[in-house]
Amino acid sequence: MKLSAAGLALLKRSEGFKSHTYIDAAGLPSIGYGHRLDPREHYPNGISETEAEVILLWDVHEAEQAVERLVKVSLTQGQFDALVDFTFNLGSARLSGSTLLRELNQGRYDLAANELLRWDHCGADELASLKARRQAERSLWLGGAEAQAA
């Protein structure tokens, strides 16, 4: 499967575009649409939105592959989109060790959808932006239109 236009729109909206390096909520250097910089990557003059979209597509591809590798049950497009956004945001290691994935792979789709909502903290702090993102992912998962407006 591939991330749909709705999934990509949610991801881009949630991340926002930044042309220069910034420190994300987790304290990691990032650029573009939430691309975490590898220590060898440097963009002293920043990047254009077009360059950021190219990087984003590569990062999305990695998240798609992780979801395909880790999920052992069939998914709807909305469920796949929600998981790719989740994995893009938090990383495949977080997905692989999560109750969300365990519930999903046991066929408990509703419980897995609810697990998304538990991932709204950065450290000990609940973040409104993560809360909104997780709610939008859950809406995509359930096939709802609310994700479009989030």
- Known catalytic residues? 15
Closest by CA position to 115, among listed 140, 145, 89, 138? 138
Closest by CA position to 100, among listed 89, 91, 112, 109? 112
Q: Which two tokens stand for residue 39?
A: 């220590």
Q: Which two tokens stand for residue 123?
A: 């450290």
Residues 71 and 133: beta-carbon distance below 8 Å: no
